Chains A and B, each alone.
Chain A
Amino acid sequence: MLHELATASSESWISFNWDSLFSNFLPATRDGITYGGIYALVAVGYTLVYGVLNLINFAHSEVFISGAYAVVFTLTGLGFDGNSPNLGTIPLIGDLLVALLAGAVTSAVVAVLVERIAYRPLRARGAPRLAFLITAIGVSFAIQYLIFLWRGSVAEPSVRMVPVKAIFQIGDTLIFLNQIIIVVAALAMMIAVDQFVRRTRTGRGIRAVAQDPDTATLMGVSTERIIVLTFAIGGLLAGAAGLFYIMQVPSGAIYNGGFVLGIKAFAAAVLGGIGNIRGALLGGFLLGLIGNYGQYLLGDAQWNDVVCFVVLLLVLMVRPEGILGSSLAKVRA
Chain B
Amino acid sequence: MALLELDDVSVHYGRIQAIHDMSIHVEEGEIVSLIGANGAGKTTTMRAVAGLLGLSGGSITFDGDDISRTKAHLRVVRGISLTPEGRGIFPSMTVLENLDMGAYARKDKSSMSADFDRVFDLFPRLKERQKQSGGTMSGGEQQMLAIGRALMAHPKLLLLDEPSMGLAPQFIRQIFRIIKEVNQQGTTVLLVEQNANQALKLANRAYILETGRITREGSGAELAADDAVKAAYLGG
Residues of A with Cβ closer than 8 Å to B? 201, 204-205, 207-208, 211-212, 214-223, 327, 331-333
Contacts and interface: CB of A to CB of B under 8 A. Distances in A.
A333 B135 contact: yes
B101 interface: yes
A211 B52 contact: no
26 contacts: A201-B100, A201-B104, A204-B97, A207-B90, A207-B93, A208-B101, A211-B93, A214-B84, A215-B84, A215-B90, A216-B101, A218-B50, A218-B72, A218-B81, A218-B88, A219-B102, A219-B149, A219-B153, A220-B73, A220-B76, A220-B104, A221-B73, A221-B105, A223-B73, A327-B92, A333-B91
Contacts of B100: 201, 204
B94 to A, nearest CB: 11
Contact of A219 (B74, B91, B105): B105
Q: Which of A207, A208, A223 has the most CB of B within 10 A?
A: A208
Contacts of B52: 214, 217-218
Given A204-B104, A207-B93, A214 B88 contact: yes
B71 interface: yes
Given A214-B52, A219-B153, A331-B135, A208 B82 contact: no
A218 B91 contact: no
Contacts of B149: 219
Counting chain B residues whose Cβ lies within 8 A of the other chain, the interface size class is 20 to 34
B163 to A, nearest CB: 15
B77 interface: yes
A65 B170 CA distance: 60
Contacts of B89: 333
Contacts of A214: 52, 84, 88
Contacts of A208: 90, 93, 101, 104
Looking at A201, A205, A211, A215, which has the most chain B CB atoms within 10 Å of its CB? Answer: A215
Pick from B50, B71, B72, B89 the residue with the most CB of A within 10 Å. Answer: B72
A-B residue pairs, 8 tightest by C-beta: A220-B105, A215-B88, A220-B76, A333-B135, A333-B91, A331-B92, A217-B72, A219-B104
